[in-house]
Amino acid sequence: MPAPAKTVDIDQMIATLPRHEQVLVKRLRALVAECIPNATEKAYDNQVMPFYTRNRLICFIWPPSMVWERNANLEKQKAKGVALGFSQGNLMANDDGVLLAEGRKQVYMMYFKKLADIDDNQIRALLFEAAMIDEQFAKKKKSR
């Protein structure tokens, strides 16, 4: 059986990112903490990616300098910016179309290249919705 993934200090990981990514990751991280204070923040070795769970994985923040997959085009990835991913994005209203499926069935993403791209009220609304969807999974567990 493989050893469990080792958790790491997220602040230390963020400090290794390029400055422009640090600023975005820190702002998104603050919004998540504000909107979903009961979520658990985690990260694992070699992944500068905080993710947030409660009943299931709710969302994650992924800086573009952290390679997503082995064959990823790093320049294309960096061009998109820092990602805020919603694990149950397919269940979210997404009336304004800001969440991108990009060929995925469940996880939807948003990307930010500069601080001005982050609309705090829009992000708050999406985070609150994601937390409400996550609570539905808790209710399903209890009813079993």
In the chain, domain spans: 10-143
3-state SS string for 92-124: CCCCCCCCECCCCCCCEEEEECCHHHCCHHHHH
User: In tens digits, what is the pLDDT along the chain, a chain of 144 residues?
Assistant: 444 444 568 888 889 899 999 999 999 999 999 999 999 998 866 676 899 999 999 999 999 887 655 555 667 777 899 999 999 999 999 999 999 999 999 999 999 999 999 999 999 999 999 999 999 988 665 555
Question: From CA 134, how far away is CA 105, in angstroms rounded?
Answer: 17
Burial label for 6, CB within 10 Å (0-12, 13-18, 19+), is: exposed
Fold of the domain spanning 10-143? Aspartate Aminotransferase, domain 1 (3.90.1150)
